[in-house]
Structure 1
Amino acid sequence: MNDSHIALLRSLHDEHAPALWRYVRRLTGDDELSRDVVQEALLRAWRNPKVLEQGPTAARAWLYTVARNVVIDERRSARARWEIGSERLPERARSDHSDSALDAWLVADVLTQLTPEHRAVIVRAYYMGQSVAELAVALDLPEGTVKSRLHYGLRALRLALEEKGVTGR
């Protein structure tokens, strides 16, 4: 589409969209649906540039015809027949912390099955936020040993969770 078509479409919108919306609003009684119908009519005009070249009177008649047909199609659709509108919005979903509480309970239970050495580094690293260097100093261990205990402790934790039926997420 070239610049002249864009200019014609823009002028078509500016000149006819408000009146077209009022016309569709009278047909539907619904502000939002009216906006959607006007947008659809203008979109179809954009897709069919020959309409724009016929002159403002013919383009206006074409837009009104398209809008009326879109309203008719909407009323015939299954959505219009089966959906029930509501003035009130449904309740908002409330956050449910039960899943995270159950997860924490399950992990705490599985942590008790680990060796004290593995449990200590996992709890300090993941729950207390200590780094490998901080763990090495606090536990009086070489950093390599701390890394090894973290690796094997997490592996044992994963296996214990899998035994309880928890799969990787």
Structure 2
Amino acid sequence: MTRAQTAVDTSERAELDTLLTAVAHGDRVAFTDFYRATSARVYGLALRVVRHRAAAEEITQEVYLQVWQTAARYDAAMSTPTGWLMMLTHRRAVDRVRRESAASARDLVFGHAHRPVDHDVVTESVTRRLEASSVADGMRVLTPMQREAITLAYYGGRSYTEVADHLGIPLSTVKSRIRDGLRRLRAAVAEHVVAV
């Protein structure tokens, strides 16, 4: 690296350090300047990882929202502003790829498990009624709080986070209620099946 390039890098780092300090104090103009100086690099890295323009644009927005919210946590002793920004971007992009891969895998498994097969309609109808009856009976053994959380999640189609928001309780509490409720429900359904 030449001396001229080193001087430019040092100057850019000092400018970005100053802008991040101002952003940490809520300076919107500094945030705009920081965004203009760095957004092409953030978008470029996101695009290289996710390989989809719309996803890269979303990641870029998420990264700058995170910068606005957490600029006070930036530690110049640990990283350069650009290094910190690239780390935030890389993490979000990799998380997005992992989430999409997991969703694709779930869809594939679901598709294989639920592909149409030749079957006996009468047997399937009776089985479905028995299962529905077992689940309905099993729901009665749940506490009201477990029943409400499971109903919102599984019959209402809400995510655990949405259930937590709806009920106004912590996400960990929702997960515990649903997990414990499903255990009780599974045991009740198993007892019902054995009884039948």
Instruction: Return the TM-score normalized by structure 2.
Output: 0.36
So what's the TM-score if we normalise by structure 1? 0.41
Structure 1 or 2: larger helix share?
A: 2
Of structures 1 and 2, the larger Rg is shown by 1
